[in-house]
Amino acid sequence: MYDNYQEWKIKPIKQPPYLSIIIPAYNESERIIPTIGAVASQVCDLGIEWELIIADDGSIDDTVSIAEDLGLVNMRVLQAPINGGKGSAVRRGMAAARGQYILFADADNSTPIEEISELITKVEDEGYDIVVGSRAAVGAEEANKSMLRRMMSGGLRLLVQKVLRIGVSDTQCGFKLYTREAADKLILAQTIMGFSFDLEHLYLARKYGLKIAEVPVQWIDAPGSTVDTRKEVQRFLKSLLQIKINDWKGVYEIA
């Protein structure tokens, strides 16, 4: 209801919220307002206290000023002086978050925010530490994804299963829910600050014995993506190798 949004917009939360939502953003001036609107209109009707964090990644367009000009008292914009990578932005957002649960969601809203209810049920009622929105789980739906991208995604998923053995079929969907404790542990150990940071998060989660659930979601390949697919595939493969090297060197060992 619009009244719920109006109250959230002007009435500050006085205690740590139930949920923090982090949206990493790099040059998202065209999409940031529609995404904020979609998220706020849905979550305000869930009957929970929540905050929204826009984790800027050194945008050189008007992303920061556009978000700040909305004047939403329960939304914070974390501005970065330089582009540090998506993982860096999410890490800063998680460190700043005050919620009992933390969702990170992509700025293009490719996975509709309506999918959050299933993720919350998994962590709250079934005791999972991380819940992964998945485009590969049974029941998931993908729209507007080219055949080439489908083939590339399938190949990378198979490679991840063979090399890292995480047990998650889709590591890269930008829609994941963490408990506060899981987020704190993972960002402390995180070394990858680029696009494939969540691959490392999930590898670490398995290593540390955290419980991971994977739930099917709807996903739409939104137009206007700023991601260079070819470069990100190269970086993904480099990150996969780096994770194995880090583990071999003992980088991830808990003191």
Buried b / exposed e over 55-69, threshold 16 CB at 10 Å, is bbbbbeeebbebbee
- Report yes or no: 55 and 25 within 8 Å, Cβ to Cβ: yes
- Report yes or no: 166 and 158 within 8 Å, Cβ to Cβ: no
* Residues recorded for the chain: 255
Tokens 């930008």 -> residue: 174
* Rounded Cα–Cα distance for residues 48 and 46 (Å): 6
Q: Give per-residue pLDDT as tens, 6-49.
A: 999 999 998 999 999 999 999 999 999 999 999 999 999 999 99
In this prediction, residues 88-108 reach a mean pLDDT of 97
Q: Give per-residue pLDDT as tens, 80-89.
A: 999 999 999 9
Domains and CATH numbers, the chain: 2-249 (3.90.550.10)
Q: For 209, left (φ over 0), alpha (ψ -120 to 50), or beta?
A: left
Which one is predicted more confidently, 160 or 115?
Answer: 115
Confidence of residue 148 (pLDDT cuts 50, 70, 90): very low
pTM over 0.85: yes
User: What pLDDT is stored for residue 150 in this prediction?
Assistant: 55
